[in-house]
Amino acid sequence: MTTLVEREKFGEVVILHIRTNSIDAVSAASIEASCNEMQPITVLNFREVAFINSAGISVLLKFVVKARKAGYKLFAMNLSPHHQKIFKMVEMSRFMPTIEERDLAAYR
């Protein structure tokens, strides 16, 4: 299975850079596998992501579940305005608030 997520770790922070433009049923399994890379502060970087459908939302919920169970903090970074709207519609943003790249500087 092709790895579609690149891991960048510093301290208790991990940024999971999603290297596909589509989070859907096709990419779901590869993205879900990176749940194992989560750290106490986990940031999903959506910079390259142009499309997320409900299968994609379902995969992202796996990260929410794991964060909730482990007591981790989970954030979304570089989410497009369209996806910010969708996250708000389904209230994903309650469980995965957005964070700015500059906010991570203190952890580096």
Partner 1 sequence: MGMERIEVHIPSDLTFERVVRASTDEIGKVLEIPTDRLEDLKLAVSEAVCNAIEHGNQQMADKLVMVVFTVDTEKLEVHVIDQGTGVDIERLDFSEQHVEDAHIEGEGRRGFGMFLISALVDQYEVKSSEEGTTLTLRLYRKEIEP
Sign of CA dihedral 31, 38, 49, 91: positive
Nearer to partner 1 by C-beta: 9 or 82? 82
- Rounded Cα distance, 43 and 8, in Å: 10
Of these, 6, 29, 47, 90, which contacts partner 1 (CB under 8 A)?
Answer: 90
The site for partner 1, by CB under 8 A, has a size of 26
In whole angstroms, how close is the CB of 65 to partner 1 at the nearest point? 5
Kindly state the tokens that stand for 104: 């991570």
**17-56 mask for partner 1 (x: CB under 8 A)?**
-----x-xxx------------------------xxxxx-
Residue 56, classified by CB atoms within 10 Å of its CB into exposed (0-12), middle (13-18) or buried (19+), is: buried
